[in-house]
Amino acid sequence: AQSVTQLDSHVSVSEGTPVLLRCNYSSSYSPSLFWYVQHPNKGLQLLLKYTSAATLVKGINGFEAEFKKSETSFHLTKPSAHMSDAAEYFCVGYRDDKIIFGKGTRLHILP
């Protein structure tokens, strides 16, 4: 069965330090993968998308993600956290008309 697993429900980092949000997917072949961000009282916003053209994907607001087939991972990173990055982040997979959401990771930024 296909699944998308976000390994941490909460992550706390200090402002100015790197961010790592982890996502693993389970599939016998590479799916399309996305990261979305949700700020309070808002809908989700696309950060970036992977569709096999390049393994390192750059997104908005300084975020990027690397697709690693050998590890079935698609972790989201940012070199330096900003207070405005505090939000919930969702890893999403798509394959054969099935959309699969991870359960989300809430990112806390400490001053």
Binding site for other proteins (CB under 8 A): 32, 34, 36, 41-46, 49, 51, 90, 94, 97-99, 101, 103-104
Write down the least CB distance from residue 19 to other proteins, Å. Answer: 21
Nearest residue (CB) to other proteins, 9 versus 17: 9
Write down the least CB distance from residue 36 to other proteins, Å. Answer: 8
Each residue of 60-80: b (16+ CB within 10 Å) or e? eeebbbebeeeeebbbbebee
Whether residue 102 contacts residue 5, with contact meaning beta carbons closer than 8 Å, is answered with yes
Write down the least CB distance from residue 11 to other proteins, Å. Answer: 16
Q: Which amino acid is present at 48?
A: L
